[in-house]
Every structure is written in structure tokens, then in C-alpha cells.
């Protein structure tokens, strides 16, 4: 939906969204609720009013200004083009309306599988995770195999069960990577909405699924922290160090605020909307 995304693992391949090869699936298959992220209500299966006949977004360049900030931080991890070009062989739901319902059901399943491929690929790039690399490769191959099932099999897939199996490996990976951190704070799933964490030493912290919405993380040290599933919407990462932070996605960075002094993981890109460095409190402790 947006060009505010980076390559990361799978760059140039199937884990990078290629909107030009997709039939606008995220703009049709998914529901929207009117909020700060979306200007309108939209039911699943109903095309967004901004979707053009060529499957492009009519307000792509002004999504934030038009009240569709949620679109700018969404990432399908390449699931859109996989469903459009591989699973359905290039048949689009407009010219082949009989495919529409099943295509829209397959898309969210494929998106979850591609997200797992992203995490597994990232895990395999982490040297401390070598003890589980063989298992990670097997999980990667199995997940990839699942993405190549036919539409009916994908709709019936128990993707939640597969996620649980993969998550066990990702947890072990996290423990191995964070083992050498001097302080390993456990804030998994914590409610840190609006928390004042400027300059905090969060090296090796477990922040899986933490709610960091609007949190002040200016100049925080997040090296080797596990941020899988953490909600960083509106979090201020100005001057923060995310070098080596694990399981960070481009969409998480896109949803946060930052500046030129923010250090981001090597596989990701500094979002275009981030501003220049600002002065503020929060010296690293």
C-alpha cells in the first residue's frame, strides 16, 4: 500500500511487498474501522473508495494527510503478490469475480505465513541462534511449502497451530540472542502506553507484544531487545539505538516517530516521514 517500507530479509524476493503485482488485496479483503488510522469504516471484501480500476491507490501520496495513516504502516510481507500471481495464477477478482470470495479468505492466511517467513529468515541471520539453525531451516521450508498450497487447502489451514510451533523456535532464538545482555528486563506484553522511558537501558529486554503506544523512548538503548509484535504506534524513538534489536519489522518503524539520530536495524530503512534530530531529555543510563 505504501513505498514507506524496506527490503530486509527476502529483499528483492517474495518477502517484500510488490504492490504492482497485487490486485489491491489489502484494500479490499481487510476491514477498516473509522479511527485515527482510517478515515472511514469499510467491511471485509468491500473495495476501499480510494482503490482505482488499476488496483492502485488514488491518494497514495497523501494517505497521512487524508486520514489513512494505517495504510502507510501496513505490510503484507509479499503475501499480496503471492496470492495474486501464484495461488490464483494471475486471475484478478474483477475479471474473474468467481474467485473473489476465496481470494479474500486466502489473503489473511497467506499474510500470516509470509510474516512467519520473515521472522524465520531473520532468525537464521543471527549468529547466536546457530544451535537452532537446523530447526529454523526446517520450519522455514515447511512454512514455504504451506504457502504453495491450493486456495482450498489454504483456507482450511490451521494457521494458528503453525504459528505456535514456529513461535517456540523464535522464543528459543530470542533467548540465545539476548543471553549476553547485562540486563534482561522482562516486559513481555506489558502495558507501557505513554511510558516515560527516555534514556532507559533496555538492552536485551523482552518486549514481545508490549504496548508502547505513544511511549517516550528517546535515546533509549534497545540493542538486542526482542520487539516481536510490540505496538510502537506513535512511540518516540528519537535518538534511540535499535542496533541489533531482533524481530523488528519495517511497519513498526513506520508507525513510530524518530529522527536522523535514531539507529535502526541494518535490514530496515529510516522512514521518510521521520524528522531531523530534536533536543530533549533522556540521557542514556
Render pLDDT for 40-88 as a digit per residue (tens, 0 to 9). Answer: 999 999 999 999 999 999 999 999 899 998 898 899 999 999 999 999 9
Beta pairing partners, 257: 236
Residue found under cell 538486542:
224
Output the pTM of the full model. 0.88
- Band (pLDDT 50/70/90 cuts) for residue 208 is very high
Render pLDDT for 153-171 as a digit per residue (tens, 0 to 9). Answer: 999 999 999 999 999 999 9
Give dist(CA 34, CA 38) in Å, integer. 5
Amino acid at each position: 500500500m505504501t513505498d514507506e517500507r524496506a527490503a530486509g530479509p527476502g529483499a528483492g524476493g517474495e518477502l517484500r511487498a510488490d504492490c504492482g503485482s497485487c490486485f489491491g488485496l489489502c484494500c479490499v479483503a481487510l476491514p477498516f474501522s473509522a479511527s485515527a488510522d482510517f478515515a472511514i469504516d469499510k467491511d471485509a471484501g468491500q473495495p476501499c473508495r480510494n482503490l482505482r480500476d488499476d488496483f492502485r491507490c488514488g491518494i497514495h501520496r497523501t494517505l497521512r494527510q487524508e486520514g489513512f495513516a494505517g495504510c502507510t504502516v501496513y505490510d503484507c510481507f509479499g503475501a499480496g503478490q503471492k496470492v495474486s500471481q501464484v495461488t490464483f495464477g494471475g486471475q484478478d477478482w474483477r475479471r474473474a469475480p468467481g474467485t473473489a470470495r476465496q481470494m479474500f479468505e486466502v489473503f489473511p492466511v497467506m499474510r500470516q505465513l509470509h510474516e512467519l517467513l520473515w521472522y524465520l529468515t531473520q532468525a537464521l541471520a543471527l549468529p547466536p541462534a546457530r544451535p537452532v539453525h537446523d530447526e529454523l531451516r526446517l520450519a522455514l521450508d515447511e512454512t514455504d511449502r504451506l504457502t504453495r498450497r491450493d486456495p482450498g487447502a489454504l483456507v482450511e489451514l490451521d494457521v494458528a497451530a503453525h504459528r505456535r510451533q514456529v513461535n517456540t523456535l523464535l522464543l528459543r532464538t530470542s533467548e540465545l540472542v539476548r543471553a549476553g545482555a547485562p540486563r534482561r528486563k522482562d516486559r513481555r506484553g506489558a502495558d507501557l502506553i505513554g511510558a516515560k522511558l527516555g534514556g532507559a537501558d533496555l538492552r536485551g529486554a523482552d518486549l514481545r507484544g508490549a504496548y508502547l503506544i505513544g511511549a517516550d523512548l528517546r535515546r533509549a538503548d534497545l540493542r538486542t531487545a526482542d520487539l516481536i509484535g510490540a505496538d510502537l504506534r506513535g512511540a518516540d524513538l528519537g535518538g534511540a539505538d535499535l542496533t541489533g534489536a531482533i524481530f523488528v519489522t519495517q511497519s513498526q518503524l513506520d508507525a513510530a516517530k524518530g529522527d536522523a539520530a535514531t539507529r535502526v536495524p541494518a535490514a530496515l530503512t529510516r522512514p521518510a516521514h521521520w524528522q531531523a534530530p530534536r533536543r530533549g531529555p533522556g540521557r542514556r543510563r
